[in-house]
């Protein structure tokens, strides 16, 4: 029986649920859905095997070494599992083969009887029987492990749906257990858990660590204590589950950075609808190169061990990384929780910072100190990779002795974004099309707030920026990547809507290679 038969026909009955409830009660241990599915498959295989045994309990499988009685039903595996009835028996007559019998078997009324050897100790068909020829028709040679491995994606959703529909089964951190059998976790235990996490400060704790500190929940199995406490903590707004995949970690919500609980204004993207078909192949390629976290960029088929990103103004200002298509393969994102605690490691000196993956809002928080320490500019090239230890991620850059460079400085004037070129010491590799500097962040923040309140249109912002930035080019042009970098000082936008606005506004003229200028008309 092929494994796809299970994927196509598998259902979970009320009797199956009752069996799983009994299993959980017997073990007193919450189980993962894979374990429960395995138990159901194994049970189903046992039921099928028992049904076959019952069906063929009065039937003897033909084996030449065995003896048979007149009137006995016999099944012949070598004859496509044909059934026959023994009608007669006589001694064999061949001195070359020793002593044996010959049975006369009738298959049906229209078929002549056939004769077969019996009681023949060295017959070659006996070896075939020993090698598996005696398997009953319809019996499966697949194990529960074979079936679950080959058809997991089809079977697990069926089991999960049936478990969810049962009102007494509770799912916590990927494990299931009957609600009625859970341990009581009263307010006193929760208050103790809060005190333990408060003392621990910024570092999240596992459920087992919390249980150790509060003295446990009695003498019940540890897995049941962990499950019951996880459930109660998850129902209490004071606590936040922040662990990566397959790891449960708890933190106090009030101790989490404000930038993690609430998305900073600089990172908030109010979606702008635009026609993607307006973007030329050249623009689309540049959009993929920038790889903004809010762009519809396809994730790379191969997952690189180290990802390069260019730091834009919003992420430099807040101290974050974009959770873009490439970085989603580096950081843990396949989770049911909105916030995941990680450790960010400075690739230059090994200093560690508490970090947070805010997956729904697509950013990783916790790098302000590192950015300030190394005086990284907007446009800096960063390299992100997984660290040697689980949950640690290395952020690095090309460091060199600081040298004086001419940099575009943000200088707000009259509620407009203007720029000046001035010398600054830069000690890191950067993208010269995106690099920006600012001496008065408070003034830039005020301009950002003013722009949000006035709801200036993207077209108006671009008109200001194309005219302003093109002053520094002998050809009177400005690159689209530079415009993307500058727009994001006053409004959070991915490249798509910016490029579409450039393509549709007659005030702007494309001069090739992603360079734009004000139209002469």
Give the 3-state secondary structure of residue 416: strand
CB atoms within 10 A of CB 153: 8
User: Is 440 inside a domain boundary?
Assistant: yes
- Is 227 within 8 Å of 180 (Cβ atoms)? no
Per the structure, the count of domains in the chain is: 5
- Is 406 within 8 Å of 399 (Cβ atoms)? no
Which pairs count as long-range contacts for 181-184, CB under 8 Å and 24+ apart, including other chains? 181/24, 181/25, 181/28, 182/224, 182/227, 182/228, 182/231, 183/217, 183/218, 183/220, 183/224, 183/225, 183/228, 184/228
Regions of the chain short of the pLDDT cut 50: 1, 127-133
For residue 205, the model assigns a pLDDT of 95
Supply the range of the domain harboring residue 20. 4-56+140-169
CA nearest neighbour of 20 among 148, 149, 178, 146: 178
Say if residue 104 is in the same domain as residue 187. Answer: no
CA nearest neighbour of 315 among 395, 230, 215: 395
Instruction: Please name the residues in contact with 303: beta carbons below 8 A apart, sequence gap of 6 or more.
Output: 329
User: Is 273 inside a domain boundary?
Assistant: no
CA dist list (Å): 291 to 284, 288, 300, 318, 434: 10, 5, 11, 19, 14
Say if residue 161 is in the same domain as residue 301. Answer: no
CA nearest neighbour of 229 among 217, 241, 220: 217
Distance CA 98, CA 11 (A): 55
Beta-bridged to residue 47, according to DSSP, are none
Say if residue 337 is in the same domain as residue 482. Answer: no
Distance CA 400, CA 375 (A): 12
Say if residue 335 is in the same domain as residue 242. Answer: no
3-state secondary structure 134-190: CCCCCCCCCCHHHHHHHHHHHHHHHHHHHHHHCCCEEEECCEEEEHHHCCCCCHHHH
For residue 128, the model assigns a pLDDT of 47
- CA 507 centroid distance within chain: 45
Tens digits of residue pLDDT in 323-354: 999 999 899 876 668 899 999 999 999 999 99
Instruction: Please name the residues in contact with 375: beta carbons below 8 A apart, sequence gap of 6 or more.
Output: 402, 425, 427
Domain endpoint, select from 378, 401, 424: 401
Structure tokens at 104: 């006369």
3-state secondary structure 226-278: HHHHHHHHHHCCCEEECCCCCCCEEEEHHHCCHHHHCCCHHHCCCCCCCCHHH
Say if residue 458 is in the same domain as residue 410. Answer: yes
Whether the CA torsion 290, 321, 449, 274 is positive or negative: it is positive
For residue 132, the model assigns a pLDDT of 43
- Is 320 within 8 Å of 367 (Cβ atoms)? yes
User: Is 357 inside a domain boundary?
Assistant: yes
User: Is 275 inside a domain boundary?
Assistant: no
Whether the CA torsion 115, 118, 122, 128 is positive or negative: it is positive
- Is 180 within 8 Å of 168 (Cβ atoms)? yes
- Is 394 within 8 Å of 348 (Cβ atoms)? no
User: Is 423 inside a domain boundary?
Assistant: yes
Distance CA 315, CA 286 (A): 19
Structure tokens at 478: 């400005």
For residue 129, the model assigns a pLDDT of 44
Say if residue 503 is in the same domain as residue 420. Answer: yes
- Is 473 within 8 Å of 278 (Cβ atoms)? no
For residue 204, the model assigns a pLDDT of 94
Distance CA 309, CA 133 (A): 62
What is the bridge-based pairing of β-strands 399-413 and 437-438?
parallel
Tens digits of residue pLDDT in 31-73: 999 999 999 999 988 888 888 777 777 778 888 888 888 888 8
For residue 127, the model assigns a pLDDT of 42
Structure tokens at 434: 């995106």
- Is 327 within 8 Å of 336 (Cβ atoms)? no
User: Is 352 inside a domain boundary?
Assistant: yes
User: Is 476 inside a domain boundary?
Assistant: yes
Say if residue 212 is in the same domain as residue 249. Answer: yes
Say if residue 229 is in the same domain as residue 304. Answer: no
Say if residue 504 is in the same domain as residue 406. Answer: yes
Say if residue 41 is in the same domain as residue 153. Answer: yes
Alpha-carbon dihedral of residues 352, 357, 362, 367, nearest 10 degrees?
Answer: -20
Domain endpoint, select from 357, 379, 401: 401
Say if residue 383 is in the same domain as residue 303. Answer: yes
What is the domain-level CATH number for residue 384?
2.40.330.10
What is the bridge-based pairing of β-strands 59-61 and 73-76?
parallel
Say if residue 224 is in the same domain as residue 120. Answer: no
User: Is 477 inside a domain boundary?
Assistant: yes
């Amino acid at each position: 029986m092929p494994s796809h038969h299970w994927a196509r026909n598998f259902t979970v009955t009320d009797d199956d649920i009752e069996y799983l409830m009994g299993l959980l009660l017997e073990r007193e241990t919450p189980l993962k859905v894979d374990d429960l599915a395995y138990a159901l498959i194994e049970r189903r295989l046992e039921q099928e095997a028992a049904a076959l045994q019952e069906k063929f309990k009065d039937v003897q499988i033909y084996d030449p070494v065995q003896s048979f009685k007149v009137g006995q039903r016999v099944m012949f595996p070598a004859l496509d599992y044909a059934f026959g009835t023994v009608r007669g028996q006589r001694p064999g007559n061949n001195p070359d083969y020793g002593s044996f019998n010959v049975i006369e078997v009738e298959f049906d009324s229209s078929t002549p009887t056939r004769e077969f050897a019996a009681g023949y100790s060295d017959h070659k068909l006996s070896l075939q029987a020993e090698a598996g020829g005696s398997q009953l028709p319809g019996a499966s040679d697949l194990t529960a492990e074979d079936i679950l491995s080959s058809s997991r994606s089809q079977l697990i959703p069926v089991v999960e749906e049936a478990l969810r529909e049962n009102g007494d089964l509770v799912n916590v951190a990927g494990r299931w257990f009957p609600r009625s059998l859970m341990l009581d976790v009263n307010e006193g235990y929760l208050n103790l858990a809060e005190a333990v996490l408060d003392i621990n400060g910024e570092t999240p704790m596992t459920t087992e660590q919390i249980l150790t500190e509060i003295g446990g929940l009695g003498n019940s199995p540890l897995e049941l204590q962990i499950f019951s406490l996880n459930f109660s903590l998850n129902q209490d707004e004071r606590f936040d589950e922040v662990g990566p995949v397959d790891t449960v970690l708890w933190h106090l919500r009030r101790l989490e950075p404000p930038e993690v609980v609430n998305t900073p204004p600089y990172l908030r993207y109010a979606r702008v609808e635009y026609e993607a078909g307006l973007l030329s192949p050249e623009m689309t390629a540049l959009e993929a190169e920038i790889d903004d976290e809010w762009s519809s960029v396809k994730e790379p088929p191969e997952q690189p061990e180290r990802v390069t990103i260019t730091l834009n103004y919003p992420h430099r200002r807040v101290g974050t990384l974009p959770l873009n298509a490439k970085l989603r393969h580096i950081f843990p994102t396949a989770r049911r929780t909105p916030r995941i605690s990680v450790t960010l490691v400075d690739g230059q000196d090994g200093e560690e910072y508490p970090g947070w993956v805010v997956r729904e809002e697509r950013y990783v928080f916790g790098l302000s100190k590192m950015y300030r320490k190394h005086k990284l500019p907007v446009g800096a090239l960063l390299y992100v990779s997984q660290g040697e230890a689980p949950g640690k991620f290395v952020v690095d850059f090309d460091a060199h002795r600081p040298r004086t460079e001419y940099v575009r400085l943000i200088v707000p004037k009259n509620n407009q974004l203007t720029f000046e070129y001035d010398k600054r010491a830069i000690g890191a590799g950067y993208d010269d099309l995106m690099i920006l500097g600012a001496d008065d962040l408070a003034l830039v923040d005020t301009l950002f707030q003013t722009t949000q309140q006035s709801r200036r249109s993207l077209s108006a912002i671009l008109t200001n920026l194309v005219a302003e930035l093109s002053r520094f080019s002998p050809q009177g042009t400005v690159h689209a990547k530079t415009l993307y970098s500058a727009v994001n000082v006053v409004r959070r936008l991915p490249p798509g809507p910016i490029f579409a606005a450039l393509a549709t506004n007659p005030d702007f003229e494309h001069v090739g290679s992603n360079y734009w200028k004000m139209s002469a008309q």
